[in-house]
Amino acid sequence: MGALLAGGGANAQELRPFRITGDAIVEPLGGARGDTARGRAIVVDRQKGLCLLCHTGPFPEQRFQGTLAPTLAGAGGRWNEGQLRLRMVDSGKLNPATIMPAYYRTEGLTRVGTAWQNKPVLDAAEIEDVVAFLVTLKEPQ
């Protein structure tokens, strides 16, 4: 999957340290919480998040949503903020067989284009934006 994903605003950089507690990363990466509107824009962006390659969700303006993964509608009711953060950072920590890309990892990625080596797909602020948006998706569709 990695080769399909554009690196976006992430520059070659050290990842911010984070601590996994159970199935969650409780603290925001870098301290501050994100912006829900920016998070929604990343989720529906076909070049950046690519979420809708696999997921559907409450995005009526978007055609051709994915069917490979659970709908994002209701994700904020099924999971708390910290659980959503770990899924975004590296869902392989929860399900080693997952097809969902690790959005905040630089090591152990396979099939990563050279332009994206040493960069996470999303940077820490973008992860927080997406998490802030997912938390708002309380209603199952």
Residue ranges in contact with ligand HEC by CB under 6 A:
1, 43, 49-51, 53-55, 68-70, 72, 75, 78, 84, 87, 91, 95, 98-101, 103, 130, 134
Please, what is the minimum distance in Å from the beta carbon of residue 42 to ligand HEC?
6
CA 34 to the chain's CA centroid:
13
Contact between 104 and 13 under an 8 Å Cβ cutoff? The reply is no
Q: Bridge partners of 24?
A: 21
Residue among 49 and 120 whose Cβ is closer to ligand HEC:
49
Please, what is the minimum distance in Å from the beta carbon of residue 49 to ligand HEC?
4
Residue among 72 and 112 whose Cβ is closer to ligand HEC:
72
Please, what is the minimum distance in Å from the beta carbon of residue 115 to ligand HEC?
18
Contact between 130 and 88 under an 8 Å Cβ cutoff? The reply is yes
Please report how many Cα atoms fall inside a 13 Å half-sphere around the Cα of residue 12, on the Cβ side: 5
Please, what is the minimum distance in Å from the beta carbon of residue 107 to ligand HEC?
19
H runs (alpha helix) in the chain: 36-44, 75-78, 81-90, 124-135
Residue among 100 and 112 whose Cβ is closer to ligand HEC:
100
Contact between 56 and 65 under an 8 Å Cβ cutoff? The reply is yes
Q: 21: which DSSP letter?
A: B
Residue among 12 and 46 whose Cβ is closer to ligand HEC:
46
Residue among 27 and 53 whose Cβ is closer to ligand HEC:
53
Please, what is the minimum distance in Å from the beta carbon of residue 19 to ligand HEC?
20
